[in-house]
């Protein structure tokens, strides 16, 4: 079994929000075995002298679409699944080289992609997946234009969603995604930017339909995430027992308090609206959807500020599509206008781990945790820029005990 010792590291303790100099970390196989200020020894171990640089946990992104090589989801349904997989492999590799060692897919990825990463057929972060997102007819996952009648969203197609209506269809869809290995379920409970026939302000699915999905998730010991923008849509999802709200751009004070009281997580995805506003149409977003971006972009920072001030559990998410995946680290800069660096780092480490039900396994550098480690030049507690320019500042990437990059 391989072993690596990182010596002379300045360890970033994300729980306490402090730097611990003169730290030494022993990795055996795929896990952290020991963290100590004393010198560590292990026969045959490779020794990496960090020379005082900051060593920290790998990053988590709780809202990605690794199959979305285009922002035009309708076009994606017409692509060959093998081509989609090839493009996804390219997208995941780039995520890992940005320092993301665990990502949660919000529609499109499946067991095959997750298995390919775990078997090292693709180089990429640990992939949590929901399979197809669950949408009602005419909802955020229904990509048909008003004049189209066919439904190209069967569970086996290359798109990101499946359409179902009524409690029985919801239960069947959820059970089918669970059968296929889903680590969580995704519900579309409001309108969205990328869907052609709904409004941002619409609510989707009846209460009993949402509750049925949550019941199926609970039965399988997983959870539901929900795409939602407005207070009305968010509150319906919270009451039904959804674990995380995605986006939440139109959040109000009452709803923020409700998130806090129920312990529901919020995953803002501000970088995607910034990118779509600047490059969306050029990257393939239909022009007709460009105005929807403007509706939610301006409100996003205010919602983040409100949620942070209320004490809502915030988790890092990007939700980027097509050529805009390259802006995945921009979320640090955007949130930095509102939050302190340690708060944003926690959203991409321990908060994400808690949301994923993986506390102690990822997001920390501690014995028995997975060996997902980064070494950076500079102090991210003072300058988030060191996390936004991996080509310049990211010196070591270890994922599951494998040294992906070691530039020391």
Confidence of residue 285 (pLDDT cuts 50, 70, 90): low
Q: What was the pLDDT predicted at 75?
A: 81
Q: What was the pLDDT predicted at 273?
A: 87
Q: What is the DSSP string of 124-173?
A: --EEE--SSEEE-TTSTT----TT-------TTSSSSEEE--SHHHHHHH
**Is residue 65 within 8 Å of 319, Cβ to Cβ?**
yes
3-state SS assignment for residue 186? strand
Of 8, 53, 132, 150, the C-alpha closest to 380 is 53
Q: Which domains does the chain have, with CATH numbers?
A: 3-57+363-406 (2.30.40.10), 59-355 (3.20.20.140)
Q: What was the pLDDT predicted at 287?
A: 67
DSSP-derived pairing of the beta strands 54-57 and 265-267: unpaired
Q: What was the pLDDT predicted at 1?
A: 82
Is pLDDT of 128 > 50?
yes
pLDDT, average across residues 315-332: 96
Confidence of residue 103 (pLDDT cuts 50, 70, 90): very high
DSSP-derived pairing of the beta strands 394-399 and 373-376: antiparallel
The DSSP call for residue 71 is S
Taking every pair of Cα atoms in the chain, the longest distance, rounded to a whole number of angstroms, is 69
Distance separating alpha carbons of residues 133 and 168, to the nearest angstrom: 16
Confidence of residue 286 (pLDDT cuts 50, 70, 90): low
3-state SS assignment for residue 236? helix
Q: What was the pLDDT predicted at 150?
A: 62
3-state SS assignment for residue 215? helix
Confidence of residue 282 (pLDDT cuts 50, 70, 90): confident
Is pLDDT of 154 > 80?
no
Is pLDDT of 220 > 80?
yes
What proportion of the chain, given as a percentage, has pLDDT over 90?
A: 80
Distance separating alpha carbons of residues 277 and 371, to the nearest angstrom: 37
Of 16, 86, 59, the C-alpha closest to 332 is 59
Of 315, 318, 327, 333, the C-alpha closest to 386 is 333
Q: What sections of 2-136 are H helices per DSSP?
A: 73-76, 81-97, 111-118
Q: What was the pLDDT predicted at 157?
A: 44
**Is residue 356 within 8 Å of 320, Cβ to Cβ?**
no
Q: What was the pLDDT predicted at 251?
A: 95
Is pLDDT of 155 > 50?
no
Q: What was the pLDDT predicted at 297?
A: 76
Summary mean pLDDT of the chain: 92
pLDDT: which is higher, 206 or 281: 206
Return phi, psi of residue 26, to 5°: -105, 125
Is pLDDT of 149 > 70?
no
Distance separating alpha carbons of residues 276 and 294, to the nearest angstrom: 9
Q: What was the pLDDT predicted at 158?
A: 47
Least confident of 23-37, 41-55, 132-146: 132-146
Neighbours of 1 (CB within 10 A): 7
pLDDT, average across residues 209-216: 98
Is pLDDT of 146 > 90?
no
**Is residue 161 within 8 Å of 109, Cβ to Cβ?**
no
Specify the pTM. Answer: 0.94
3-state SS assignment for residue 399? strand
Least confident of 45-54, 120-129, 133-142, 339-348: 133-142
Q: What was the pLDDT predicted at 313?
A: 98
Distance separating alpha carbons of residues 307 and 252, to the nearest angstrom: 9
pLDDT, average across residues 137-162: 68
Alpha-carbon torsion (138, 143, 146, 152), positive or negative: negative
> Who contacts 361 (Cβ-Cβ below 8 Å, separation ≥6)?
353, 368, 369, 370
Of 67, 7, 17, the C-alpha closest to 341 is 17
Q: What was the pLDDT predicted at 296?
A: 74
User: What is the signed CA dihedral for 54, 60, 322, 124, rounded to 10 degrees?
Assistant: 80
pLDDT: which is higher, 375 or 141: 375
For the ranges 197-211, 231-245, 270-284, 286-300, the maximum mean pLDDT occurs at 231-245
**Residue pLDDT, tens place only, 201-211:** 889 999 999 99
pLDDT: which is higher, 29 or 288: 29
Count the helix, strand and coil residues of the chain and give each as a percent rounded to the nearest 5. Answer: 35, 25, 40
Distance separating alpha carbons of residues 229 and 231, to the nearest angstrom: 7
Confidence of residue 182 (pLDDT cuts 50, 70, 90): very high
């Amino acid at each position: 079994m391989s072993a690596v010792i990182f010596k002379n590291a300045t360890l970033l303790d994300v729980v306490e929000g402090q730097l611990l100099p003169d730290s030494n970390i022993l990795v055996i196989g795929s896990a952290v075995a020991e963290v100590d200020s004393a010198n560590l020894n292990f026969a045959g171990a490779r020794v990496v002298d960090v020379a005082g640089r900051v060593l920290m946990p790998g990053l988590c992104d709780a809202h990605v679409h690794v199959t979305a090589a285009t922002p035009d989801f309708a076009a994606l349904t017409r692509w060959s699944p093998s081509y989609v997989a090839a493009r996804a492999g390219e997208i995941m590799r780039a995520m890992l080289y940005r320092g993301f060692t665990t990502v949660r897919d919000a529609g499109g990825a499946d067991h095959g992609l997750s298995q390919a990463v775990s078997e090292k057929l693709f180089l990429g972060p640990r992939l949590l997946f929901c399979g197809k997102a669950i949408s009602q007819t005419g909802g955020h996952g229904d990509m048909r234009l008003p004049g189209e009648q066919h439904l190209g969203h069967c569970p086996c197609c290359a798109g990101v969603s499946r359409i179902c209506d009524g409690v029985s269809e919801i239960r069947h869809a959820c059970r089918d995604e669970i059968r296929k290995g889903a680590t969580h379920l995704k519900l579309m409970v409001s309108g969205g930017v990328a869907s052609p026939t709904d409004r941002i302000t619409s609510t989707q699915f009846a209460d009993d339909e949402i509750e049925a999905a949550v019941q199926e998730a609970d039965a399988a010991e997983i959870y539901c995430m929900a795409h939602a923008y407005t207070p009305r849509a968010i509150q319906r999802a919270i009451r039904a027992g959804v674990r995380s709200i995605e986006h939440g751009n139109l959040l109000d004070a009452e709803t923020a308090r409700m998130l806090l009281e129920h312990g529901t997580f919020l995953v803002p995805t501000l970088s995607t609206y910034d990118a779509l506003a600047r490059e969306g149409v050029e990257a393939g977003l239909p022009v007709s959807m460009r105005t929807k971006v403007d509706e939610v972009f301006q409100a996003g920072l205010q919602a983040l500020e409100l949620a942070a001030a209320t004490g809502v559990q915030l988790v890092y998410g990007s939700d980027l599509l097509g050529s805009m995946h390259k802006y995945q680290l921009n979320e640090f800069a955007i949130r930095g206008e509102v939050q302190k660096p340690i708060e944003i780092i926690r959203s991409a480490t321990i908060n994400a781990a808690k949301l994923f039900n993986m506390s102690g396994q990822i997001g920390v550098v501690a014995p028995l945790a997975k060996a997902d480690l980064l070494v950076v030049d500079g102090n991210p507690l003072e300058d988030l820029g060191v996390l936004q320019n991996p080509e310049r500042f990211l010196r070591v990437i270890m994922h599951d005990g494998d040294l992906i990059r070691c530039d020391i």
